[in-house]
Structure 1
Amino acid sequence: MHFSIPETDIQVDEKGLNFRSYSVHINGILHCRLRYRQFHSFHLELRREFGPLIPQFPPKKLFTLNETEIEERRLNLEKYLQLVSQDPRVSNSSTFNSLLVSAQQETRKENLENISIDIFLLNEQRININIQTVEQTDSVLSKVCSQLNVPEEFQSCFSLFLIRRDFDGDITIVRKLQDFESPYISQKALSTTSTLMGDKEDSGPLRIVLRKSCWDSSIDDSLLSETSTLNLLYIQTVAEIERGWIQATEDIKQQLALMQAKGAKRQYMEIARNLKFYGYIVFRPGLCDYPEPHSRATLALGRSCINMRLYTPSGEIKEVVFKVTRIRCWRIMTSGKPLLNPGAKLHSDQEAKLELSFEYLVAADKLEWITVVSPQSILMSLCLQAMVEELVRIRSGEKDPLKITKCNTKHNKRVQMESPVVDDGCKGPVDYTVRKLAEKFSVVNMKSASTAAENVLVENEVFIEMVDSNSLHSL
């Protein structure tokens, strides 16, 4: 999760008294507005359950804060949230996520009600389920999967995404829904933003869509052996081939069309799995500073790679593949560069002009920073995190799809000061580490952090393993 508190605001309570709120953005979107005392209550709840795992809370001041002190408190609260969310034993806990959902509900002023909600597949199939307005993502996902007869051990291989289908047929993956939020509230909040991510005026509705979210190809072997998950992968693959996200020659398309007509789903998938960009997420075009500044880039992430199709200002077209195992670290930052649609109005719920920067091992003794400017930068970062986590678990010998795709934690409530019990799905206290910029890689040519959206970077555990084992030559 990417936490930031970019701003504060003066609001009025039910008694007509002014108070200061802090705007908490998660993964680039306004999630909630909290008062200092609400942050403190949040801290006390976490401290009761996790004890010393929770960092110190920014202290209360005796007197009214001046502007300098307000800014200091904003930064300290932002740092506190970033530190708390580092450890998956905390950030994956029901307590942590329930508190964030409650804060989202209060900020959006949503009442607790029983409703029905539509979840879509990529072929436009609609699944209607009954939920509560504040029901968390994992619960909604479980209900959808159960209705589709997906076995419990495979449910973590799928996720709910907010996807916008424009009237011209274009599709944008806007956001991966996570357990700290209510899908209903998030969809409703973001649907009111007509210019989300620089959207065109003819943008269509924002839908909640079920799609595969695991990355390692070995997991597909298990998914294809089960009828319900084979059907889901087949539906997604057909849609992505038709859309051009998965590339196929005309001959292959004809073969696939024959198999589709016969209903030979398994045979269809065996051919499709070998096609270019199968298992990838394709992103909208962005800007890149590689191989030269202001290069237009179409990105796709999958198979432990970042694939870029680059259109340079000098007129060259290049395709470059960056292996995840060569990425030393990455971070999300705000950018002073314009987006592709500079005339688009920005909404207060959005982080504008985001960029993803990653430090890449271009040669055995050379690291280079590469930057992509895209409204989908945070989604890219979450995809990289998920890829690395899967690689770590697979390299540790894990074969169970449930444990490869999801870190499960169980807390020992009998002894409050003990650390939570971590099962084999986590393989240790953290699957990837988040560090303040000043604490790590000080000898590396770091970019200035003065514009950092969240003064943190994500360190790639897989890269460190490779370096430590002196196996750079095999990257």
Structure 2
Amino acid sequence: MHFSIPDTQELTDNNGSTYLAYNLQANGWQHCSLRYRQLLHLHQMLQHDLPSNLLPSFPPKRLFPLSASQVEERRQALEKYVLALSQETRVLLNHNFNGFLACAQHESYTGGGAVEEVPIQVYLMNGQRIIINGTDAMQSQHLLQKVCNQISLSLELMNDFALFIVRKKDNELRLVKKLQNFECPYISLKSLRGSHRIVLRKNYWVSSSFYCDEERVISDLVGLGLVYGQVVAEVQFGWLLVSDEQHQILAQLQASGQKREYLKFASSLSNYGSLLFGPCIADFPVPNTKIYIAVGNNELSFRVKEFQKNSILEGNFRVTRIRCWRISTHQTGEDAV
């Protein structure tokens, strides 16, 4: 998880008074806008819930109005604070922490409006649509539980799945992001432009051994159907790279209804269990080349389509540890946040 405060903005409250708000981003996506005193309140709640040695120091109050340079100094200090919070697992799992950020997202989106009852559409990877009667303030974990109940998935397997936002356009399906528990899925979806939807997907990495977490999940009839539907979709949308011969074998297994055999064969493919992102724009091999990035099995996979040969070049890079990283977004048009 990566939190940042890249900038500030001046807002107006219900009384017509202006105040300075800090724009909080989570993994590069705008989440909410917060006042200094709201962040101080969050810090005080965490002090009550967690040992003091887990929490970074909070930027101090000032008695007089801030100058422009002092505003920037405070922004940097608050960004350092929230970044430190995002690296602490016990903070990310804290109920008050997640509830605070979910409320802040709702308040920022609605302008402090009341919670409303709304239908929330969630899709399975096979295209099946599920409608949940919820609220615009419902958090991701609560929505996930309602979805699992409706499809009769054992609650023991609930944490093996998660909610994601994907973008479907033409014959492409792009993964946008995983919905965190401090998010309100309805608001996160409505905040995006373009054709997006919430989907239920696997929430675990698949190692080189097929019979691990996967076997435990597909031993359940509903779990088997979910994983099978997801893998079929990944083959259909090109997330899994398959040769003509492999595609024929998978088609035969699908036609005969051999779900477990289909999954076992698919697990032998190089990118099985990976998450496909993209496209990114690169200058190689020619300017403005679209590159798709797949992450999984301790590898980063970069895919470049050669239009002259109508083939896909793939390069894999082994990743065992990331010591320093940063997320930023630069999007225009329908993909703009």
Q: TM-score, normalised by structure 2?
A: 0.88
Tell me whether 1:15 sits opposite 2:19 in the alignment. no
1:160-196 Cα offsets, whole Å, 9 max, x none, are 1111111x22221111101011101111122xx34xx
- Select the residue among 153, 169, 175 that pairs with 1:173: 175
Stretch of structure 1 that moved more, 301-310 or 74-83: 301-310
1:236-287 Cα offsets, whole Å, 9 max, x none, are 1111112222223333333332332232211221222212322112222324
The total of aligned residue pairs comes to 327
Give 1:247's aligned amino acid. L
- SS at the partner of 2:121? strand
Cα gap change, 1:21 to 1:241, in 2 (>3 Å): same
Tell me whether 1:5 sits opposite 2:5 in the alignment. yes
Over the aligned positions, Cα root-mean-square deviation in angstroms equals 2.7
Deviation at 1:289, TM superposition (A): 8.0
Would you say the 8 A contact 1:248–1:276 is kept in 2? Answer: no
- Select the residue among 206, 215, 221 that pairs with 2:196: 206
Deviation at 1:71, TM superposition (A): 0.5
Give the alignment of 1:153-302 within 5 angstroms: 153-166=156-169, 168-190=170-192, 193-194=193-194, 205-217=195-207, 218-287=212-281, 297-302=291-296
Cα gap change, 1:212 to 1:345, in 2 (>3 Å): closer
Give the alignment of 1:71-220 within 5 angstroms: 71-109=72-110, 110-166=113-169, 168-190=170-192, 193-194=193-194, 205-217=195-207, 218-220=212-214
Deviation at 1:111, TM superposition (A): 2.5
Cα gap change, 1:322 to 1:169, in 2 (>3 Å): same
Would you say the 8 A contact 1:111–1:133 is kept in 2? Answer: no
Gaps of 5+ in 1: 195-204, 351-475
- Percent of pairs with identical residues: 38
Would you say the 8 A contact 1:162–1:209 is kept in 2? Answer: yes
- SS at the partner of 2:323? strand
Deviation at 1:82, TM superposition (A): 1.1
Would you say the 8 A contact 1:122–1:209 is kept in 2? Answer: yes
Cα gap change, 1:149 to 1:270, in 2 (>3 Å): same
Distance 1:25 1:178 in 2: 13
1:111-149 Cα offsets, whole Å, 9 max, x none, are 223332111012210111222221111111111122222
Cα gap change, 1:115 to 1:78, in 2 (>3 Å): same
- SS at the partner of 2:64? coil
Distance 2:328 2:167 in 1: 24
Distance 1:291 1:322 in 2: 18
Cα gap change, 1:328 to 1:7, in 2 (>3 Å): closer
Distance 1:175 1:224 in 2: 24
Cα gap change, 1:323 to 1:164, in 2 (>3 Å): same
Cα gap change, 1:345 to 1:242, in 2 (>3 Å): closer
Would you say the 8 A contact 2:2–2:327 is kept in 1? Answer: no
Deviation at 1:295, TM superposition (A): 7.1
- SS at the partner of 1:72? helix
1:57-100 Cα offsets, whole Å, 9 max, x none, are 11111111110001011111111111122211111111110000
Distance 1:185 1:334 in 2: 21
Would you say the 8 A contact 1:150–1:229 is kept in 2? Answer: yes
Q: TM-score, normalised by structure 1?
A: 0.64
Gaps of 5+ in 2: none
